[in-house]
Structure 1
Amino acid sequence: MTLRFACLTSALALATAPALAETTFNRIASFPVVTNMAAGEDTARETSSEIVAASEDGLTLVYTDSPLGVLGMIDLTDPAAPKPLGNIAMNGEPTSVVIVGAHALAGVNTSESFAAPSGRLVAVDLATRKEVASCDLGGQPDSVARAKDGSFIAVAVENERDEEVNDGALPQMPAGFVVRLPLKDGLPDCGAAQKIDLTGLAAIGGDDPEPEFVAINDLGEIVVTLQENNHIAVIGADGAVAAHFSAGAVTLEGIDATDERGALIFAERLADVAREPDAVKWIDADHFATANEGDYKGGSRGFTIWRKDGTVVYESGPSFERAVAQIGHYPDKRSDAKGVEPESIDFARFGDMPLLFVGAERASVVGVYDVTDPAAPVLRQILPSGVGPEGFVALPDRGLLISANEADLGADGGARSHVMVYQMQEGSPAYPTITAAGGDVAGFGALSGLAADPEVPGKLYAVNDSFFGFQPTIFTIDATQTPARITAALPVTAAGMPAQKLDLEGITPDGKGGFWLASEGNADKMVPHGIVNVNAKGAVKKEIGLPAALLAGQTRFGLEGIAKVGDVLWMAVQREWGDDPKGMVKLLAYNLEAEEWGAVHYPLEPKGAGWMGLSEITIHGDHAYIVERDNLIGDAAKVKKLFRVKLPDLVPAKLGETLPVVTKQEVRDLIPDLKGWGGYMQDKVEGFAIDAAGTGYVVTDNDGVDDASGETLFWSIGKVE
């Protein structure tokens, strides 16, 4: 199967659907799972919410936390304010969980090694939080599914391969299988367990099936993906294999497959890529969908809808990830063969709307598709998730969708693992806040500096930073649309090629049709601190480095923002350099006519747990407006603020002299704004501009989706007086 430009259809549907019908999902809460630890525990330990299930009344969530070896519980009585209910130790690694009646049923991996896998099914009473039953599964469980009527469960016993042995090649015994377990009053009947053999089915590693994910339809049929084997089997209600077939391959056109230098170039081709499906979910009694993550030698970067006889009804190919790129979530430096890595999938009917939810692990988003016609899914929304969405549970009766996000980046100062709550609401979606959909711009990310067109209200310009070091770009933004629309992408070039050694963090019109750009620089990477002038075509006309008197005390935290007043360029230095007093940073001035440098000192807010620094400078009326922030996220974040300094106070002293200290005035605390999207607090408030009509706009830097959720938050703070 060859897929060419199907990607444009879904992206266009997302961009032009009228108000995305009458209802949309919006995120209303984020629950950091670290809060489920008991008092006195070491909260720096890694946590991970992976597979999540809901009680039958929808008021309690239970999720697996593999690193801690526990089931975590959340009180969802008020979905906008989920509360911790603590953890339950599993004496092993919980891999999947379902809830039947009063019991949570979890697969627990107790394997000593890959060669000697073991595991059990554990039943926990939700009221007493005690283990009340346990069944030996005879191997390492991966996925658990329940029949809708609560009569039985199915467990995929993967017995996964060791990727360090023989380069991970199959076969690696013992073989995996599926266990079918009847339930009595919500508890497993261990003695009646049925082991379902899957050997001899797949053409790839047929004697070593590795079942990955199971799902059960209303007829009691089980579908199971054999991911590494690139195979799918359907097991009848009698426990016998009723059908099986290869998951096949896809040829992908127009993808960003191998270029990880820091550039979005959707011009490559991958031929005959094995789908290697991971998660699977029934849509109805005859159709199911798979998320084609890949893990062995394939991964077709999208999802597929199948008939249970193996007929492909719909193949997304690269359309999903192209739509993801257009909202700024394409993980360029982690994409390689897996793209956005669709790993998880769920289905539920909200009223008369049959909705398929596709989770992209590396892009940290959830695609919402209307599958009224399984052969022609319509992309309704893309929701921002936490880092690495792994599991979902839909609660149509409460109008809720829950995502469990496995990545815990706390050790590196990043986001912790979160469970996130979305609610179906009337009106327009809150996210995305900015998009490139509907035009010729393939994607964007890592937006840093922001500037306004001096004449056209709502017309802004932004630059990307060094994450896209091989694709420095000036973006034109139409902020009069909702979401804001990136309408053009102008490459920054030198001698006709993408300009190199730039870390763009600021932009301002030069008054001649071009722009002045501020490059933060990093001496460790041989990227100089300095400013660059480009013409209207983006070609570099002039480069000005910082003088030796400044560079003697340089750090890697250089210029963050640039603004022009008459013949003077003003630049904010992000953090203290070696010659700055503690708690002071420079606002640098460069006189274009005199070609002279000067500076003033700007007093930072008191430093908390992280560092404090500047992100932007823009000039409007009689003031210079400056964004100041700490580098903290989540509940630890304390300072994300907009200040201003009177222009008459910006009288630069010569370098080497005692610098005058300016007085700042707080204009707006941006933390309440950032909380409005229901996620964890974003770190990098990077861009601010005031347009020709006096309206202020703010944008965050999403770090190119590298160890970050990828969210770009763009919003207006209204008129700036």
Structure 2
Amino acid sequence: MRRLLLFALSLTIGFTSCKKDKNPTEEPDFFVNEDPTTFAEISTIDIGETGAAEISAYDPETKKLFVVKNENEGKPNQVNRIEVIDFKDPAAMKVIGNISVEPFGGAVNSLAVHSGKLAAAIQATDKTANGKVVVFKTSDHSVISQVTVGALPDMVTFSPDGRYIMSANEGEPNPTYTVDPEGSVSIISVNENYAVTTVNFSSMASQQTTLVQKGFRIFGPNSTFVKDIEPEYITIAEDSKTAWVTLQENNGIAKIDIASKTISNIFPLGFKDYNTAGNEIDPSDKSAGYVAAKWPVKGIYMPDAIAVLESNGIPYLFTANEGDAREYDTFIEAKRVSDKTVALDAVKFPNAADLKKEDQLGRLNITPTLGDIDGDGDLDELYSFGARSFSVWNGITGVQVFDSKNELDAKCADEKVYDDGRSDDKSVEPEGIAIGTVGHKKVAFVGMERADAVAVYDVTNPSGPVFLKLLKCGDAPEGLLFIPAKDSPTKKSLLVVSSEGDGVVKVYTSKTIS
């Protein structure tokens, strides 16, 4: 008996020592062995019509998925609420309730989750008035706090450490452009009873001339620097000390020091030259499919979503370069090149008559707010909206280190999801972006609103992303949510794509490598 006990003890010691050989911080093998090239759809759920399913957020504690549902805005049957979905089995999602946001204002624009808290960005009934960030418990959906922020809070996020909630307050003007609120960013201190500081961009106003010379835009009717800036989307560094905010209409990225609650820099993004190799575009919706060529046009990056990936001490900023034209009752920015009010400089464009034809540049939407270099009333350069790509920027210097050029267009054309009817506008319209770790690789997912697809890239080397595959999704994907394996109910990485065009949420997952 004693020998048996000793033998059993030795086995126990042996097994224990083997376990100690593994670094306790390492993830299990089934996390590490995931293959990002195998992502495929496993389920779908329809939660409404146009305007529903714009953004989703997941709570690993309750295994609930929270999804924005806005429908029939401005009509008697308007719906503004948050759908609650049982996500214990992502392959069999089901709606189990909802949270009305009507007591707090109008539409809910964005959601974020951290440590059992759900933050919702809710615009005021009057979009030019200050909105709110409302924080709910994910368990019973009761209100923890409601905080007044700037006008039209369009995106909300938690810092990685959960100490802060930040909202990008777009501050769009009213339809007649007679009221134009300040664009701002609100920083909410969770541990200080949700105290809020809302920061505008007045501290950078003295740099307007220099910024504009580098590609920043201030151009609204009777605009001022502070009122013209429209924050769109936020990403926060891993150490929760720095945030970067896209200023879409202005073609820039703002850098924010969170502790001091100050704007520390603005990076103008410049322009993309479609007359160079690799940047070829199809500018006409009248062509027979995707026909790419060099054209004397520049793209304004104007990014929507932004995500940060830190590598070797450098924060790399990934942007989805959607583009966006201002369109109001009294100010419609976009014009076609063929428009009779668009005069092309005879010296810079000696073939102007041909360029204005529909099968050339005539159908292309451009902005007349740029391009009159010598101030004589005609355009010496042509600037279109967006860059038909995603880019990577150094978060310290603002320098571009990568652009996908025309690869998104080309890949969508190859997969027969390219919408030639959008060639004259912003093409595939890269809008959403999410980054996560899948197996041994860092992976970026780029949602394209007009292609109804998501491009998957290996971004382990942030300055050299490599295309992996294309995922087809719902109509007009808006929200991309990556759920890492450690938080996933299946213990495998998940991608949740929310599409505002048809109100559909789709879930994708990867396979493991044997």
Give the TM-score taking structure 1 as reference length: 0.50
TM-fit CA distance, 1:160: 1.4
Of residues 368, 374, 393, the one that matches 1:306 is: 393
Of residues 198, 209, 219, the one that matches 1:195 is: 198
- Return structure 1 stretches of 4+ with deviation > 6 angstroms: none
Question: In the alignment, which residue of structure 1 is the partner of 2:9?
Answer: none
Question: In the alignment, which residue of structure 2 is the partner of 1:257?
Answer: 283
Question: In the alignment, which residue of structure 2 is the partner of 1:59?
Answer: 63
Of residues 167, 176, 180, the one that matches 2:187 is: 180
Q: Deviations over 1:14-42 (max 9, x none)?
A: xxxxxx968510100011113xxxxxxxx
Of residues 141, 154, 179, the one that matches 2:153 is: 141
Identity %: 31
Counting only pairs closer than 5 Å after superposition, residues 572-587 of structure 1 correspond to structure 2 as: none
Residues 195 and 427 of structure 1: is their aligned pair in 2 closer, same or farther, counting only changes over 3 Å?
same
TM-fit CA distance, 1:133: 1.8
Of residues 308, 317, 322, the one that matches 1:293 is: 322
TM-fit CA distance, 1:426: 4.1
Counterpart of 2:67 in structure 1: which amino acid? Answer: Y
Residues 336 and 22 of structure 1: is their aligned pair in 2 closer, same or farther, counting only changes over 3 Å?
closer
TM-fit CA distance, 1:321: 1.5
Indicate the structure (1 or 2) with the bigger Cα radius of gyration. 1
* Contact kept in structure 2, 1:69 and 1:89, CA below 8 Å: yes
Question: In the alignment, which residue of structure 2 is the partner of 1:670?
Answer: none
Of residues 433, 456, 461, the one that matches 1:345 is: 433
Question: In the alignment, which residue of structure 1 is the partner of 2:265?
Answer: 243
TM-fit CA distance, 1:324: 1.1
* 1:400 matches 2:494: yes
Of residues 308, 311, 315, the one that matches 2:403 is: 315
TM-fit CA distance, 1:52: 1.0
* Contact kept in structure 1, 2:61 and 2:115, CA below 8 Å: no
Distance (whole Å) between structure 2 residues aligned to residue 377 and residue 360 of structure 1 = 17
Question: In the alignment, which residue of structure 2 is the partner of 1:370?
Answer: 458
TM-fit CA distance, 1:381: 1.1
Of residues 86, 91, 94, the one that matches 2:108 is: 94
Counting only pairs closer than 5 Å after superposition, residues 336-485 of structure 1 correspond to structure 2 as: 336-397=424-485, 398-408=492-502, 417-426=503-512
TM-fit CA distance, 1:118: 2.4
Counterpart of 1:194 in structure 2: which amino acid? Answer: T
SS state at 1:392 partner: strand
The answer for unaligned runs of 5 or more in structure 2 is 1-33, 72-78, 219-224, 326-366, 368-384, 486-491
* Contact kept in structure 2, 1:33 and 1:47, CA below 8 Å: no
Distance (whole Å) between structure 2 residues aligned to residue 351 and residue 180 of structure 1 = 34
SS state at 1:337 partner: coil
Of residues 170, 178, 181, the one that matches 1:158 is: 170
Counting only pairs closer than 5 Å after superposition, residues 632-643 of structure 1 correspond to structure 2 as: none
Q: Deviations over 1:323-355 (max 9, x none)?
A: 111100101112323110001111111232111
Question: In the alignment, which residue of structure 1 is the partner of 2:144?
Answer: 132
* 1:33 matches 2:47: yes
Residues 242 and 58 of structure 1: is their aligned pair in 2 closer, same or farther, counting only changes over 3 Å?
farther
Question: In the alignment, which residue of structure 1 is the partner of 2:248?
Answer: 227
Residues 21 and 149 of structure 1: is their aligned pair in 2 closer, same or farther, counting only changes over 3 Å?
closer
Counting only pairs closer than 5 Å after superposition, residues 429-578 of structure 1 correspond to structure 2 as: none
Counterpart of 2:266 in structure 1: which amino acid? Answer: H
Q: Deviations over 1:262-281 (max 9, x none)?
A: 53322252522110111101
Counterpart of 1:33 in structure 2: which amino acid? Answer: I
TM-fit CA distance, 1:215: 1.1
* Contact kept in structure 2, 1:247 and 1:277, CA below 8 Å: no
Counterpart of 2:475 in structure 1: which amino acid? Answer: V
Counterpart of 2:129 in structure 1: which amino acid? Answer: P
Q: Deviations over 1:518-570 (max 9, x none)?
A: xxxxxxxxxxxxxxxxxxxxxxxxxxxxxxxxxxxxxxxxxxxxxxxxxxxxx
Distance (whole Å) between structure 2 residues aligned to residue 307 and residue 173 of structure 1 = 32
Residues 404 and 158 of structure 1: is their aligned pair in 2 closer, same or farther, counting only changes over 3 Å?
same
Residues 75 and 108 of structure 1: is their aligned pair in 2 closer, same or farther, counting only changes over 3 Å?
same
Give the TM-score taking structure 2 as reference length: 0.70
Counterpart of 2:147 in structure 1: which amino acid? Answer: C
SS state at 1:49 partner: strand
Residues 270 and 133 of structure 1: is their aligned pair in 2 closer, same or farther, counting only changes over 3 Å?
farther
Question: In the alignment, which residue of structure 2 is the partner of 1:38?
Answer: none
SS state at 1:63 partner: strand
Distance (whole Å) between structure 2 residues aligned to residue 291 and residue 278 of structure 1 = 6
SS state at 1:137 partner: strand
Residues 181 and 424 of structure 1: is their aligned pair in 2 closer, same or farther, counting only changes over 3 Å?
same
Residues 250 and 370 of structure 1: is their aligned pair in 2 closer, same or farther, counting only changes over 3 Å?
same
- The count of corresponding residues between Structure 1 and Structure 2 is 380
Residues 172 and 210 of structure 1: is their aligned pair in 2 closer, same or farther, counting only changes over 3 Å?
farther
